[in-house]
Amino acid sequence: MPSLLLLFTAALLSSWVHLLIEANSWWSLAMNPVQRPEMFIIGAQPVCSQLPGLSPGQRKLCQLYQEHMAYIGEGAKMGIKECQHQFRQRRWNCSTVDNASVFGRVMQIGSRETAFTYAVSAAGVVNAISRACREGELSTCGCSRTARPKDLPRDWLWGGCGDNVEYGYRFAKEFVDAREREKNFAKGSEEQGRVLMNLQNNEAGRRAVYKMADVACKCHGVSGSCSLKTCWLQLAEFRKVGDRLKEKYDSAAAMRITRKGRLELVNSRFTQPTPEDLVYVDPSPDYCLRNESTGSLGTQGRLCNKTSEGMDGCELMCCGRGYNQFKSVQVERCHCKFHWCCFVKCKKCAEIVDQYTCK
Ligand SMILES: *[C@@H]1O[C@H](CO)[C@@H](O)[C@H](O)[C@H]1NC(C)=O
Ligand SMILES: *[C@@H]1O[C@H](CO)[C@@H](O)[C@H](O)[C@H]1NC(C)=O
Ligand SMILES: *[C@@H]1O[C@H](CO)[C@@H](O)[C@H](O)[C@H]1NC(C)=O
Ligand SMILES: *[C@@H]1O[C@H](CO)[C@@H](O)[C@H](O)[C@H]1NC(C)=O
């Protein structure tokens, strides 16, 4: 019965492929909440062996820095949420498909979208760890120890407790890159190209957080005269980091691997990417149709905007397949009145609006 054997082999192969994806994904820390540090028993290791998705090196780091794991999970979650915000109106909308592989197979393609995902989640980890240091949540770091900026006015104090972005950067580099550094592919192979791509994009994400951290100050002095200021280093809002990385996504560089095992521009007339830029090695699929083998979910059933000419417009979103129209009731606040003093009272109005979804 050769067909049965074939079926069996196929099942085996598909479960193996599934494992491969699963093993890849520290992002799953975002989906499966990590126990808080106070729950850990010092010296007990099972926590790290039970966390899904860690590579061997990441598991070792977990054992050394157990209390960091909840923040890595938080960072990954923040990255995923930001990705979903930035891509909400696009065909690929950064939706998560399950708890283990998180984004599913689309991440096997070395596309621009994959590049963004790596960058924004690495950025999330820097952000979460830097803040946790400042908040005194981690025993191995505290407030930022960045030197006083030279251009800070002399009479302003430098010394508030700042976000420890140096530590956050270093730790995220160690942890996030670990799984890439463990891989040992032949020089010049496609797989090695993908490793270099991931490393570059992880770095770009971390640097975005690092670069955008800025000085924040607070006034003191008699009745808010602001004669005295205390200043410290503060992370930028994560939304701004997301916006910046989205710009980097738009200008991402297409690369290929050379026989010597380095990434080079596909089109040598373009400018060389800096460590702050995103790079990709594969063209993006069009994400129009559901495809199990690429992991694309397709756009059938997605809401679209009939009048927009952008990516959220029905024409582009539905890939020319057309759309269905339906009416939906939207409840909004309306007839708002200001009452003395001091609140606003609104009524609820139901409005019937036309909505469109892709065929
Ligand atoms: C993912 O994990 C969370 C928390 O453990 C759980 O609530 C949720 O149902 C899971 N989702 C799937 C699709 O397995
Ligand atoms: C899925 O995508 C692959 C790779 O692009 C393509 O070869 C295949 O024909 C697609 N399958 C379907 C069902 O569209
Ligand atoms: C993202 O796309 C998927 C697949 O098309 C869809 O199921 C999901 O509802 C979308 N999410 C949002 C927030 O639009
Ligand atoms: C649809 O797109 C138009 C043009 O870009 C915009 O003015 C309008 O607010 C959008 N509608 C919705 C519901 O987003």
Task: Give the pLDDT of residue 38.
Answer: 53
Q: What is the DSSP letter of 92?
A: S
Average pLDDT (203-210) is 97
| In contact, 304 and 358? CB cutoff 8 Å | yes
Average pLDDT (143-168) is 91
Reading the block at residue 299, the tokens are: 């756009």
What's the mean pLDDT when you consider all of the chain? Answer: 87
Average pLDDT (115-126) is 96
pTM across the whole model: 0.87
Q: Is residue 32 in contact with ligand 1, taking CB distance under 6 Å?
A: yes
Task: Give the pLDDT of residue 299.
Answer: 94
Q: What percent of the chain has pLDDT over 90?
A: 64
* Residue closest by Cα to atom 14 of ligand 4: 305
pLDDT tens figures, 77-116: 999 999 999 999 999 999 888 777 788 888 999 999 999 9
More confident residue, 104 or 22: 104
Confidence of residue 35 (pLDDT cuts 50, 70, 90): low
Confidence of residue 19 (pLDDT cuts 50, 70, 90): very low
Atom from ligand 3 closest to the CA of residue 297: 4
How far does the centroid of ligand 1 lie from the alpha carbon of residue 99, in Å? 6
Average pLDDT (318-323) is 94
Q: Is residue 3 in contact with ligand 2, taking CB distance under 6 Å?
A: no
Atom from ligand 2 closest to the CA of residue 291: 1
Is the pLDDT at 1 greater than 80, yes or no? no
* Residue closest by Cα to atom 13 of ligand 1: 98
Atom from ligand 4 closest to the CA of residue 310: 5
Buried b (16+ CB within 10 A) or exposed e, 28-49: bbbbeebeeeeebeeeeeebbe
CA-wise closest residue to 122 among 226, 224, 238? 238
| In contact, 136 and 129? CB cutoff 8 Å | no
Name the H helices within the chain: 2-23, 46-50, 56-64, 69-86, 112-134, 165-181, 190-212, 238-250, 314-317
Distance CA 208, CA 212 (A): 6
Is the pLDDT at 225 greater than 50, yes or no? yes
User: What number of other Cβ atoms are within 10 A of residue 84's Cβ?
Assistant: 14
Q: Is residue 93 in contact with ligand 3, taking CB distance under 6 Å?
A: yes
Reading the block at residue 234, the tokens are: 């503060």
Buried b (16+ CB within 10 A) or exposed e, 118-132: bbbbbbbbbbbbbbb
Task: Give the pLDDT of residue 154.
Answer: 87
Q: Which domains does the chain have, with CATH numbers?
A: 26-35+48-298 (no CATH), 301-358 (3.30.2460.20)
pLDDT tens figures, 255-278: 999 999 999 999 999 999 999 999
Q: Is residue 191 in contact with ligand 1, taking CB distance under 6 Å?
A: no
